[in-house]
A and B are shown apart, each in its own frame.
Chain A
Amino acid sequence: MRERPIRRGFVREAGLAIAPLLALLAVLPLLYNNQLLLLNAVVFLVLAQGLNLTYGFSGYLPFGYVGFFGAGAYGFALATLHAAAPPLAAVLAGGLAAGLAGLLLAPLLRLQGAYFGLASLAAAEALRHTIANPDLEALTGGPYGVRLDVPYAPRLTYGLALAILGLTMGVVAFLRHSRFGLRLRAARDNPISAATAGIDVVRGRLTVWLVSATAAGLIGAVFAWSAPTFFPDAVFDISFSIFAIVFTLFGGAGTLLGPVIGVAVLYGTYTAIGVSAPQYFQLVYGLLIMALVMFFPDGLAGIRMPWRRRDD
């Protein structure tokens, strides 16, 4: 109805949430010297926000989301190994590879609920087994993985990961405050009614699905750049999907800061317990998730604070 508040909402979220978060993450390496941990945190932030795009705005929960991450990692690897592409171009190739995988899997969007989730998981597994096929060793390295000869550039890869995070969060903020995002949310809540309002439900879902896949592919490519050797089992590990889903749901799907809170709390807890008391890791982690599902089904961001406006 009112164009200006929509733009204002986007600018507000970009200025008050995305920019400060990126600034904080940019200075963290100066205060904390475990670069790998910080990069992994940003990788999970991107994956959580990417999953937030497709689940929060179209209602599709892809258990096989890791397939796009793996496709991005292998897109990067193949571009550097076989096309001698410079790393930055190879990162784009990773995003493209994941986008193409998303296009290939677009027919899955005809499925609903658990059927879609399981089919996407099966598709990710099929992709992993295809890449790990020993007959393709000359191309993909098969089950023996790939060894990349790219310059190790921790600052650059970290900066690139932050840029991808900023872009992904920017898309989330745009969807929260644009007419296109409004149509997506309407189609998510009631596809039949959305269609009778003239909303192109299929195109909206497909767009957000491809953007979500590309985000995972880009960060998968950055991950590959930071890891000189990796195997199919590592980059197609279902844990990536599980963590992205848990982080997103814990914080609150469809929100901007929910997945960030999810990663901060759960990845922080994961790391802290994993280091200090690994024997209690599964117990504490499981209890935390059970408490969330039982008491805050909409995630932490769903908790209403008296000072919060509805659209915050």
Chain B
Amino acid sequence: MTELLATRGLETGYGTMQVLWGVDIDVGESETVVLLGSNGAGKTTLMKCLLGLLPQRGGEIRFRGESIGRLPTRARVQRGLAFMSELGVFPDLTVDENIDLGALFTPRARARTRAAELYDLFPVLKEKRRQAAGGLSGGQRKMLGIAKALAGDPKLLVMDEPSAGLSPLFVATVIRSLAACRAGGLSLLIAEQNVKFLELGDRVFTLEGGRIRFGGTPAEIQADDGLRRAYFGLGQDDPGQPDRGQAHDVRT
């Protein structure tokens, strides 16, 4: 598989506190990678570092074969990285304006076509396109965050906890939407605590204390007893294999 994003020995932190310790992850073309980790594991820090919101202190970030670790955020976005976070929408701007801002580097004609496609993907947003984003429900705001991130035709969508604050119903909706994006060939890097997102993953990494503890397929993580206990709340001896759809959220 062609490498799209790779980090090698990535280190960063805040002030005197180091958070990431030599992180190696990679995402291939049209691949979905899930980064599992509990609160404080360093997921958001890693996302920030990938986007250039936090300077790297060591190691390397490669995107499409180019070292981007010293580039500003804007240049990374121009190269095809998109970011979706919990606070990613502009509440005072309309749905239309939010999506427009997601396509800053896209030619106008393509941006219009893309917006129409996104409204087909998220019909509820089309109904509210002239409303301020601040008036949307949590789930609708999350969809808008995804739509905004997708508006610029990115090569890789990096997501920080897309399930945060959502009801299980909306989590399922978000997963369905992401599955549609994935089917369209988009690469995804999803940092999550909710193991339901393993449904989407081609590969999974676990992050603990700022270090990668595991890298493999979703089947492999379920075969590892320690990881099963940590992320699914079940051991080898527990009766029945956990259904992915009922997998536990480790956010407790």
Contacts and interface: CB of A to CB of B under 8 A. Distances in A.
Nearest to A198: B77
Interface string B74-112: 100110000101011111111011011110110010011
Contact of B101 (A3, A192, A197): A197
A9 to B, nearest CB: 12
B186 interface: no
Nearest to B51: A196
Nearest to A6: B100
B87 A190 contact: yes
Contacts of A3: 108
Contacts of B97: 1, 182, 186
A190 B90 CA distance: 7
A261 B186 CA distance: 50
A193 B88 contact: yes
Interface in B102-142: 102, 104-105, 108, 111-112, 115, 130, 132
A138 B88 CA distance: 56
Contacts of B78: 198
Contact of B87 (A2, A192, A310): A192
A296 to B, nearest CB: 17
Interface in B137-166: 148, 152
Which bucket holds chain B's interface residue count? 20 to 34
B219 interface: no
Nearest to A179: B100
A199 B77 CA distance: 9
B73 interface: yes
B46 to A, nearest CB: 14
A196 B85 contact: yes
B112 to A, nearest CB: 7
Nearest to A193: B88
B131 to A, nearest CB: 8
Interface of A: 1-3, 179, 182-183, 185-186, 189-190, 192-200, 310
Given A190-B89, A195-B73, A198-B73, 5 more contacts: A1-B96, A182-B97, A193-B85, A196-B77, A199-B101
7 contacts: A1-B99, A182-B93, A183-B101, A193-B87, A196-B51, A197-B148, A199-B74
